[in-house]
């Protein structure tokens, strides 16, 4: 057993309202530069739909991910090493800019500069690629909210095989939103496709990153990733991808997409897994067993053997503790609500999804039945094969049984909690019908519906900052510790003088303090600083000493209610 820790995410699709806030904030944070105008590390797709880039799930066409070879061994669907090298001069499977979309801006200048004329001036769209006037014909969200679905809804690759039934049912359409980021797979085919070896998986937290200094722009990763979540920066000639906001999670704050999610549908936490079993699990012969196989790779952090092995593998104790409290572990392994996206690609993805019950609920309610009654919902799950089969096509390689089980749990929770909310006696039989106890259902409800900040995001900070602290003691102002009077990075000539401030750790600690403080950032905080020149050494002025453990919010009473943070 070789225990490794992986930072993973679960998204509860029932709560996604498709507002694209995650996409916009991610873009502002990471891809608001020239060369990556067309890139969305995070995007939200309407399903059924073609997705972004168009049609990316059709692996017959794009040949991403892994397949089993004749002797049952994993091989890249796009071809082995030699084939990659022979096609290195022109990648045969690279999506063109049209498959994403041609990014554009508007010629706003004419609005203010045009002379007086009879007709108001128009800001024409201008391509950001060629600089010419352009016609907008496609974008990352062209089929948002099923827009244009009668025309090209059937082009969704997941509908293959059930498109007849869906067309029949389309008058009573179903839809839901699917936010996507890089899956940070356990068996990443982008990394395996990279000829330069520039894409690597961090051994501490499993985040998959591109080394910008080693990437040589061969573009094989773009083809190798079946989720098409590695992008080519056409200005720098380097591959770029979602970083899981590593500068943020290293100091224990959630990714930008998760932090800004208004539906609070994202959960971030650690999963411990056995690295020795990954390739065996990925080589499971029947692709419908891949979901189960991947779940069995995960380890139970309560198991003393696992804890001992984790310690042997050098995983710090607080990380094991965080893995125990991890909401991701709970949703995947304890409640078994979360399912992986397209396990049939055999990359062992690590961003999982709780399939939405809403397509079922909507139908029950629209037909005039009680949509919170267990029997109605169960019957509907059995009867409504189209949404269920579609969900199975996304999350379990077409096996409807796990999806059925998840939807039944969600339905049971819905009707069990309805009784409680109406002040009636809870019916244990409802919980028992999905193999749970009432307490478990209530815990699940708390995690899914209340979704407190501290319970959604259990992110242990990385341990490197301790070493850096040592370095700072020796090399910088000794009052420049967190919350100390010297904090704020003064140099000898005022606020911004001196050397370059270190990235990541310190900056983001400050950022977190600012974000979680009650006061507006900046001036208010400065007034509270203690002037050491006239401090007489008595008492404990506020802000001079770090808070004691017992005084920290939430530190003393883990069971207590904690204020939701902004």
Partner 1 sequence: MNAWDVLLWVAVPYASIAVFIVGHVWRYRYDKFGWTTRSSQLYESRLLRLGSPLFHFGILLVALGHVGGLLVPKSWTEAVGVSDTAYHVVAVGLGALAGLCTLVGAAILVYRRRTVGPVFSATTRNDKVMYVLLLGTILLGLGTTVLGNLTDQPHDYRETVSPWFRSIFYFQPDPDLMAAAPLGFRLHALAAWALFAFWPFSRLVHVFSLPLGYLTRPYIVYRSRDQHLGNRAPRRGWERVR
- The gap from C-alpha 523 to its chain's centroid, in whole angstroms, comes to 35
| Binding flag, residue 217, partner 1 (CB under 8 A) | yes
3-state secondary structure (DSSP) of residue 75: strand
Residue among 156 and 465 whose Cβ is closer to partner 1: 465
Residue among 247 and 438 whose Cβ is closer to partner 1: 247
Residue among 488 and 541 whose Cβ is closer to partner 1: 488
- 233 touches 35 (CB < 8 A): yes
Size of the site for partner 1 (CB under 8 A): 63
Q: Which of the stretches 176-184, 209-217, 414-422, 441-449 binds partner 1 when contact is defined by CB under 8 A?
A: 209-217
Tokens read off for 306: 């696992």
Cα separation values, 494 from 404, 447, 499, 517, Å? 63, 47, 12, 25
Selected binder of partner 1 within 28, 73, 83, 94 (CB under 8 A): 94
Give the DSSP letter string of 265-303: -EEEEEEEEEGGGHHHHHT-SSGGGHHHHHHHHB--TT-
8-state DSSP, 462: P
CB of residue 488 to partner 1, shortest distance in Å: 17
Q: How far apart are CA 311 and CA 313, in angstroms?
A: 5
- 178 touches 44 (CB < 8 A): yes
Site string for partner 1, 167-196 (x = CB under 8 A): --------------------xx--xx-xxx
Q: Which of the stretches 236-244, 283-291, 297-305, 530-538 binds partner 1 when contact is defined by CB under 8 A?
A: 236-244
CB of residue 64 to partner 1, shortest distance in Å: 14
Selected binder of partner 1 within 204, 362, 372, 399 (CB under 8 A): 204
| Binding flag, residue 139, partner 1 (CB under 8 A) | no
- 269 touches 325 (CB < 8 A): yes
3-state secondary structure (DSSP) of residue 153: helix
Indicate left, alpha or beta for 494 from its phi (over 0: left) and psi (-120 to 50: alpha): left
| Binding flag, residue 346, partner 1 (CB under 8 A) | no
| Binding flag, residue 470, partner 1 (CB under 8 A) | yes
Selected binder of partner 1 within 475, 518, 549, 566 (CB under 8 A): 475
300 burial class (0-12, 13-18, 19+ CB within 10 angstroms)? middle
| Binding flag, residue 212, partner 1 (CB under 8 A) | yes
| Binding flag, residue 89, partner 1 (CB under 8 A) | yes
Residue among 1 and 544 whose Cβ is closer to partner 1: 1
Q: Which of the stretches 9-17, 89-97, 359-367, 429-437 binds partner 1 when contact is defined by CB under 8 A?
A: 89-97
Q: Which of the stretches 129-137, 145-153, 283-291, 401-409 binds partner 1 when contact is defined by CB under 8 A?
A: 129-137
Matching residue, tokens 């259990």: 458
Site string for partner 1, 242-261 (x = CB under 8 A): --------x-----------
| Binding flag, residue 500, partner 1 (CB under 8 A) | yes
- 377 touches 210 (CB < 8 A): no
Beta bridge partners of 8: 269
Cα separation values, 538 from 5, 14, 265, 532, 541, Å? 46, 55, 48, 11, 8
Q: How far apart are CA 427 and CA 442, in angstroms?
A: 12
8-state DSSP, 107: -
Matching residue, tokens 């796009």: 78
- The interface with partner 1 within residues 55-84 (CB under 8 A) comprises 81-82, 84
| Binding flag, residue 422, partner 1 (CB under 8 A) | no
Residue among 67 and 505 whose Cβ is closer to partner 1: 505
CB of residue 217 to partner 1, shortest distance in Å: 4
Residue among 12 and 243 whose Cβ is closer to partner 1: 243
- 345 touches 395 (CB < 8 A): no
Residue among 158 and 199 whose Cβ is closer to partner 1: 199
Matching residue, tokens 């800001």: 123
Q: How far apart are CA 216 and CA 263, in angstroms?
A: 39
H helix intervals, 132-188? 149-152, 163-169
| Binding flag, residue 491, partner 1 (CB under 8 A) | no
Residue among 96 and 492 whose Cβ is closer to partner 1: 96
CB of residue 505 to partner 1, shortest distance in Å: 7
CB of residue 88 to partner 1, shortest distance in Å: 8
Tell me phi and psi for residue 77, to 5 degrees.
-65, -30
| Binding flag, residue 389, partner 1 (CB under 8 A) | no
Residue among 3 and 194 whose Cβ is closer to partner 1: 194
- 350 touches 9 (CB < 8 A): yes
Interface contacts to partner 1, rule CB under 8 A: 81-82, 84-85, 87-92, 94, 96-97, 129-132, 187-188, 191-192, 194-197, 199-204, 211-219, 232, 234-238, 250, 462, 464-465, 467-468, 470-471, 474-475, 499-500, 502-506
């Amino acid at each position: 057993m070789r225990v490794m820790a992986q930072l993973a995410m679960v998204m509860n699709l029932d709560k996604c309202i498709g507002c694209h806030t995650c996409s916009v904030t991610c873009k502002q944070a990471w891809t608001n530069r020239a060369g990556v105008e067309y890139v969305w590390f995070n995007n939200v797709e309407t399903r059924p739909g073609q997705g972004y880039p168009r049609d990316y799930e059709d692996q017959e066409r794009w040949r991403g991910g892994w397949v089993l070879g004749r002797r049952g061994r994993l091989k890249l669907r796009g071809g082995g090493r030699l084939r990659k090298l022979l096609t290195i001069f022109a990648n045969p499977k690279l999506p063109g800019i049209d498959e994403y979309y041609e990014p554009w801006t508007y010629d706003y200048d004419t609005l203010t500069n045009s002379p007086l004329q009879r007709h108001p001036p128009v800001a024409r769209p201008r391509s950001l690629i060629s600089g010419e006037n352009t016609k907008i014909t496609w974008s990352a969200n062209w089929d948002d909210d099923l827009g244009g679905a009668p025309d090209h809804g059937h082009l969704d690759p997941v509908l293959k095989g059930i498109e007849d039934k869906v067309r029949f049912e389309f008058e009573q359409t179903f839809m839901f939103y699917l936010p996507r980021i890089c899956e940070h797979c356990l068996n990443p085919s982008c990394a395996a496709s990279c000829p330069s070896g520039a894409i690597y998986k961090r051994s501490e937290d499993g985040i998959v990153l591109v080394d910008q200094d080693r990437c040589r722009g061969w573009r094989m990763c773009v083809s190798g990733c079946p989720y098409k979540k590695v992008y080519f920066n056409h200005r720098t000639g380097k591959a770029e991808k979602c970083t899981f906001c590593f500068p943020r999670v290293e100091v224990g704050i959630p990714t930008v997409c998760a932090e800004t999610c208004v539906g609070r549908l994202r959960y971030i936490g650690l999963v411990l897994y056995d690295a020795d079993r990954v390739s065996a699990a990925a080589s499971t012969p029947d692709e419908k067993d891949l979901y189960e196989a991947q779940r069995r790779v995960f380890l139970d952090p309560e198991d003393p053997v696992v804890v001992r092995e984790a310690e042997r593998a050098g995983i710090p104790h607080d990380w094991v503790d965080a893995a125990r409290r991890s909401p991701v572990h709970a949703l995947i392994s304890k409640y078994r609500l979360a399912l992986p996206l397209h396990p049939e690609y055999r990359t062992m993805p690590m961003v999982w999804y709780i399939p939405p019950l809403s397509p079922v609920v909507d139908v029950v309610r629209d037909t005039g039945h009680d949509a919170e009654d267990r029997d109605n919902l169960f019957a509907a799950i059995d009867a409504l094969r189209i949404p269920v089969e579609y969900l199975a096509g996304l999350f379990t390689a077409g096996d409807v049984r796990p999806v059925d089980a998840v939807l039944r749990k969600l339905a049971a929770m819905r009707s069990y909690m309805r009784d409680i909310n109406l002040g009636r006696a809870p019916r244990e039989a409802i919980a028992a019908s999905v193999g749970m106890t009432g307490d478990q259902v209530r815990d699940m409800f708390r995690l899914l519906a209340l979704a407190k900040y501290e319970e959604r995001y259990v992110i242990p900070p990385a341990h490197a900052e301790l070493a850096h602290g040592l370095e700072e003691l020796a090399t910088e102002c000794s009052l420049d510790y967190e919350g100390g009077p010297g904090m704020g990075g003064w140099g000898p000539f005022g606020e911004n003088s001196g050397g370059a401030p270190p990235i990541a750790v310190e900056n983001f600690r400050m950022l977190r303090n600012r974000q979680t403080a009650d006061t507006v950032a900046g001036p208010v905080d400065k007034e509270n600083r203690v002037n050491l020149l006239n401090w007489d050494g008595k008492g404990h002025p506020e802000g001079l000493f770090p808070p004691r453990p017992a005084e920290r919010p939430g530190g003393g009473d883990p069971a207590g209610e904690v204020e939701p943070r902004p």
